[in-house]
Amino acid sequence: MAELIFDTDVDNDPHDVRRALIDFRATMRGRDRGGLTGSAETVLAEVLNNIVEHALAGRGQDGAIHVRCHLEGAGLCFEVVDNGIPLPGGECPARTMPELGKLEDLPEGGFGWALVGILASDLEYQRDRHENRLRFRLLVPD
C-alpha cells in the first residue's frame, strides 16, 4: 500500500521551489531506498522550475503548484498539479538529449526533460480542465 510522505503547495516563485526541495530532502531522511532521494530531487527540481519558468510565466501570485509523493514498494510516486498553460501539443517534451557538438555550440537548455526521461519512469501528463497533471515514478535501481 502507498504511504503519503510529502504533500505541499509551492508558490510561483523560484525561492519557494527551493524551499519545497529542501522540505522534500528533509522528509526523505531515514526513508531513502537505494539512493532515490538525489534522483527524485533532481527530477522534482526540473519539473517545478519548468512550471515556474514556462507554464506559470507572468502569472505572479495567481500561479499555484501542488506536489504529492507516495512511498510505494521500492519506489517513489509523484503527482504534480499546476494551473498554468498546457504543455505544447498536449504532451511532455521529447526526452532525448540535444545534439552535442563543440563546447561553444552547446545549447543553453534542452537537457532537463532528457534528464527527467533518464531518471523517471511511467511519465504521464494530462490536461484536466484548467490544470496540468504530471505523474511519474522513480524506482530503486537494480
pLDDT digits (tens, 9 = 90+) for 7-34: 999 999 999 999 999 999 999 998 887 8
Measure Cα distances from 111 to 25, 32, 118 in Å. Answer: 23, 26, 11
Quick check: 39 and 100 in contact, CB under 8 A? no
pTM across the whole model: 0.88
Q: What is the DSSP letter of 1?
A: -
Q: What is the pLDDT of residue 133?
A: 97
Q: What is the DSSP letter of 116?
A: H
Q: What is the pLDDT of residue 2?
A: 84
Domains and their CATH numbers in the chain: 3-139 (3.30.565.10)
State the average pLDDT over residues 132-142. Answer: 89
Q: What is the pLDDT of residue 99?
A: 60
What are the φ/ψ torsions at residue 102 (nearest 5 degrees)?
-70, 150
Short-list 106, 119, 132, CA closest to 50: 132
pLDDT digits (tens, 9 = 90+) for 48-105: 999 999 999 988 778 899 999 999 887 999 999 999 999 988 877 666 655 655 655 5
- Categorize the per-residue pLDDT at 106 as very low, low, confident or very high, splitting at 50, 70 and 90: very low
